[in-house]
C-alpha cells in the first residue's frame, strides 16, 4: 500500500512541477508555418503584358534543431500563368527550416511539373515567408539547380531560379 501511495505522491509532484513550466517553453520547441492563397509579384516577369503571381499552399512544422516536416506547393496556371507555360507547379516535401520572428525559411525536395509530360523530380527548393494576410505576407521561392536565367530569375548565373518576393494577394500565411 505504501508503494502505491508513494507512486501517487510522485505523480502529483510531477504534475505540479509541469504546471509551473510555461507553455511558451513547450511551444518554443517547434513552430508551425501554414497558409494558402494567391500571391502577386506586382510585375510582369515574362513580358506577356499581365501581372504575374501564383497560387500557394503550405503546412510546415519546424523544430528548434532545424529539422522540419511538411508540404509546400506553388502553382502558376490558369489566372497565374508564367513564361507562357500552361502550368508550372512546384510541389515538395519540406525537410529543413528556421524561424526568426515573423519570418520562416524552409527547404526540401520537389517535383516541378511544366505540363505536357515534362516533370523534373528531385529538385531542391527554398522558400522564405513572412506572416500576414493580403498586402502584408510574403513568399519567395528559389528552385535550386534549374531554370537559371529564364525570365523572372533575379540572380542569373548562380544555377538557380530565384523568383522575386510575392506579396499575399488573397489568403494568409501564419507563423505560430
What beta strand segments (E) does the chain contain?
Answer: 30-40, 53-63, 67-82, 85-100, 103-113, 119-130, 132-133, 138-143, 161-162, 166-175
Per residue, what are the HEC states of 95-136? Answer: EEEEEECCEEEEEEEEEEECCCCCEEEEEEEEEEEECEECCC
- Distance, in Å, from the CA atom of 113 to the CA atom of 110, rounded to the nearest integer, reads 10
Q: Name 77's Cβ contacts closer than 8 Å, sequence gap at least 6.
A: 55, 86, 87, 88, 89
Mean pLDDT, the chain cut into blocks of 10 residues (176 residues total): 45 43 57 96 86 94 97 86 81 97 97 92 98 98 94 94 96 97
- What is the per-residue pLDDT for 18? 42
Cβ burial of 132 (10 Å; 0-12, 13-18, 19+) is: middle
The length of the chain, given as a count of residues:
176
- What is the per-residue pLDDT for 26? 45
Are 167 and 141 spatial neighbours (Cβ–Cβ below 8 Å)? Answer: no
Q: Which three cell numbers stand for residue 104?
A: 520562416
- What is the per-residue pLDDT for 13? 38
| Model confidence, pTM | 0.82
- What is the per-residue pLDDT for 16? 43
- What is the per-residue pLDDT for 84? 72
- What is the per-residue pLDDT for 28? 58
- Distance, in Å, from the CA atom of 109 to the CA atom of 5, rounded to the nearest integer, reads 53
For the chain, domain boundaries: 27-175
- Distance, in Å, from the CA atom of 149 to the CA atom of 156, rounded to the nearest integer, reads 5
Amino acid at each position: 500500500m505504501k508503494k502505491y501511495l508513494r507512486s501517487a505522491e510522485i505523480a502529483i509532484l510531477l504534475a505540479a512541477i509541469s504546471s509551473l513550466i510555461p507553455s511558451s517553453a513547450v511551444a518554443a520547441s517547434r513552430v508551425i508555418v501554414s497558409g494558402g492563397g494567391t500571391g502577386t509579384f506586382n510585375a510582369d516577369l515574362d513580358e506577356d503584358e499581365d501581372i504575374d503571381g501564383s497560387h500557394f499552399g503550405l503546412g510546415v512544422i519546424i523544430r528548434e534543431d532545424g529539422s522540419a516536416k511538411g508540404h509546400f506547393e506553388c502553382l502558376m496556371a490558369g489566372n497565374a500563368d508564367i513564361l507562357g507555360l500552361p502550368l508550372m507547379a512546384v510541389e515538395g516535401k519540406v525537410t529543413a527550416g528556421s524561424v526568426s520572428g515573423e519570418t520562416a525559411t524552409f527547404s526540401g525536395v520537389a517535383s516541378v511539373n511544366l505540363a505536357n509530360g515534362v516533370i523534373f523530380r528531385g529538385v531542391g527548393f527554398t522558400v522564405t515567408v513572412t506572416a500576414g494576410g493580403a498586402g502584408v505576407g510574403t513568399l519567395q521561392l528559389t528552385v535550386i539547380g534549374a531554370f537559371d536565367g529564364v525570365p523572372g530569375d533575379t540572380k542569373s548565373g548562380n544555377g538557380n531560379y530565384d523568383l522575386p518576393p510575392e506579396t499575399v494577394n488573397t489568403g494568409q500565411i501564419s507563423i505560430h
